[in-house]
Amino acid sequence: AGLDVTDIIVLAALFVGTVAYLTKGTLWGITKNPYASSLAASHGLKPPKTRNIIEMMEESGKNCVIFFGSQTGTAEDYASRLAKEGKSRFGLETMVADLEEYEYDNLDAIPSDKVVMFVLATYGEGEPTDNAVEFYEFITSESPTFSLDNDPPLGNLNYVAFGLGNNTYEHYNSMVRNVNKALEKLGAHRIGKAGEGDDGAGTMEEDYLAWKEPMWRALAEKMGLEEREAVYEPIFGILEKYGLTRDSLEVYLGEPNKMHLNGTAKGPFNAHNPYIAPIRQSYELFSVRDRNCLHMDIDISGSNLSYQTGDHVAVWPTNAGEEVDRFLDIFGLTSKRHNVISVKALEPTAKVPFPTPTTFDAIVRYHMEICAPVSRQFIATLAAFAPDDVSKGELGKLGNDKDYFHSKVNTQYLNIARLLAKVSKGKQWTAVPFSALIEGITKLQPRYYSISSSSLEQPKVVSVTAVVEARQLPGRGDPFRGVSTNYLLALKEKQNGDPKPTPFGLSYEITGPRNKYDGIHVPVHIRHSNFKLPSDPTKPIIMVGPGTGVAPFRGFVRERRKMAESGQAVGKTILFFGCRGPTEDFLYEKDWEEAKQVLGDKFELVLAFSRQGPKKVYVQHRLKERAKEVNELLLQKAYIYVCGDASNMAREVNAVLAQIISGERGMSEAEAEDIVKQMRSSNQYQEDVW
């Protein structure tokens, strides 16, 4: 629908106020999940008019483009933040661009008074993100063909580079490293250092901050920019649509896209278009009362979706009603929650990250990551809109003092609404422009789960094994609860008619927008992975999966069982599983017994209980106890798989493997580590870690 003449521009013009930024040396929190993120993760909504970046920049009057290579939106988020900061602090005319949407053979024609930034995530085992594959191949090729005949080819190009990586992976930040090397080789001029953020060490934000200040100084010097008092300018205009109500058919109430709105959602279902899948059955896997682990069978037979054993399913969560209420309340939006608004980008290269017209309620419930860790820079921005001077001072302090922020905010797992309410003692923050919220809060992200079923056995049913995130924290009344897993828990409770179990059970709009998810449905898509069984089923496999890390191995074991049942020979199949104890959180005990019955000696389950007896026993200890056998299997080219906790367990398993090889084969640890590396690059050693 076009804009009504009666539409009132509520915010756009109002909030072009001068706002002092308090960003110097600040740090802001980030979702720990490497797969989380993004305010502007909106690719697919509207592709740009041209694939020529120079034309695009000229048409929109830009002198700085920030390209992102992003898989799940985090890198895209950082790109947006650089764009915003460049604009507000230095008056750069910035734009953010998806690498996939432009051609690169004219990078040599970008004039030297412009700057190109690259924010590049490294994905999986050192690979480029899907949207950066072509760029990566082009720029790192032996001699990329450019539009002009410059010598050196990129002698005019000024660039800035920041990478997002995870040091638990072997090819740490290889994207930014390799792209940087390639650009240098082509004669381009880097401004500042090529930054590297490490999600593995949990220091992405600090790394980014430590990198960006000197980079801005170098850039300002190089381009003769003067730092100015940062000005907040809204990127989005919010228009109230008085002619529409939430019953109007064109109003989005949480539907992810137009097809869903029209009720004709059809495939292809993917990261931009979820399938609203029925849940066949769901049940609890733990036998203790204070922790939950869900098993869910999701039916994809009504869709074109398919999966292979080892793939991931993405769940599109909905925020809990209590948190939606809290958020709307603190910003004084409760009475307007169902008002229909249209959101327009005021800036030609910006994209609205959700479909409109819609309502405040729908945006907050379905599209914003309102419960995530709070960004420190965002806090600093909000200080200007505080309801009183005391709150303003406190927010300023939080924004500027990393340790203070950590002790007050992170340790309590506060989200934005809880934090603001605490700071202002409940006073509402009505002066905060809604555009600032859209800009500063990331887009609600799907959560990934390792599929725990076998596609050979049940090609149209995807199983999920998810431990429910709930944490009691000292000094906080109610427990911290994860977004997606508590939504799944609520679905399971509804499906089974369970009474609301805990005093803090959350409520959800389970039936979805316009009741379209009624009858226990969940929006999902499938992501294919490289975590795969050997194509030869007679090859031995060793699986290491404590806790929910066992999820894909349930699929692997069921697959081999199914093969054996149909008369195929299968190789030795060993599973190392760990949990607290045999009567608390022992997952899928029956599955393993059944597998044993069919596979006999071919299947072995090795258990590690951490809370039995005086010593904590973990899977890596069990692996080490079996050094001789593990080594022999590896020499027979057994595949080894590790799934679950990336930071500790997977690292330790890697170390133990090297120790086993060194000990058993009588070689140095360094030589053994090389063998482990080779096993990784030949896919003999595969990880599915998070």
Instruction: List residues near ligand FAD by CB under 6 A.
Output: 31-33, 35, 312, 317, 371-373, 410, 413-415, 447-450, 465-467, 469, 482-485, 548, 551, 690
Cβ 351 to ligand FAD, closest distance in Å?
24
| CA distance linking residue 532 with residue 510, whole number of Å | 34
Closer Cβ to ligand FAD, 252 or 449, answer by number: 449
Q: Which of 28, 216, 429, 690 is catalytic?
A: 690
Give the nearest residue (CB) to ligand FAD. 482
Asked if residues 418 and 266 have their Cβ atoms less than 8 Å apart, the reply is: no
Question: Shortest approach of ligand FAD to residue 35 CB, angstroms?
Answer: 4
Q: Which two tokens stand for residue 80?
A: 């947006």
247 as an active site residue: the answer is no
Residue closer to ligand FAD, measured from CB, 400 or 452: 452
- Collect contacts of 353-356 with beta carbons under 8 A, ≥24 apart: 353/38, 353/39, 353/40, 353/41, 353/42, 353/45, 353/438, 353/443, 354/42, 354/252, 354/443, 355/45, 355/252, 355/255, 355/256, 355/257, 355/258, 355/261, 356/252
Catalytic (active site) residue 450: yes
Measured from the CB atom, is 170 or 469 closer to ligand FAD? 469
Phi, psi at 344, each rounded to 5°: -120, 140
Please answer whether residues 437 and 18 qualify as being in contact, where contact means their C-beta atoms are separated by less than 8 angstroms.
no
Query: Least distance to ligand FAD from the beta carbon of 656, Å?
Result: 22
Shortest Å, Cβ 16 to ligand FAD: 30
| Residue partners of 490: CB distance under 8 A and separation at least 6 | 505, 506, 507, 508, 510
Catalytic status, residue 28? no
Find the catalytic residue in 28, 643, 645, 662: 643
Q: Could you say which of 80, 174, 303, 450 is catalytic?
A: 450
Smallest gap from residue 661 Cβ to ligand FAD (A): 27
For residue 490, the minimal CB distance to ligand FAD (Å) is 12
Q: Of 223 and 285, which CB lies nearer to ligand FAD in the complex structure?
A: 285
Alpha-carbon span 311 to 15, nearest angstrom = 46
Sign, Cα dihedral of 474, 475, 477, 478: negative
- The contacts of residue 502 (CB under 8 Å, 6+ apart) are none
What are the tokens at 49?
A: 């008019």
Of the residues 77, 198, 645, 688, only one is catalytic, namely 688
Q: What phi, psi does 107 have (nearest 5°)?
A: -60, -25
CB of 293 to ligand FAD, least distance (A): 7
Q: List phi, psi (to 5°) of 59.
A: -60, -35
**CA 497/CA 43 separation, integer angstroms:** 39
Comparison of 410 and 538: residue with beta carbon closer to ligand FAD: 410
Q: Is 690 a catalytic residue?
A: yes
Burial class (CB in 10 A: 0-12, 13-18, 19+), 384: buried
Task: Give 30 or 40: the residue with its C-beta nearer to ligand FAD.
Answer: 30
Beta strands (DSSP E) in 136-187 are 158-165
Which CB, 22 or 315, lies closer to ligand FAD?
315
Alpha carbons 601 and 55: distance in angstroms, whole number: 66
Positive or negative torsion for Cα 677, 681, 687, 688: positive
Residues marked active site are found at 450, 643, 688, 690
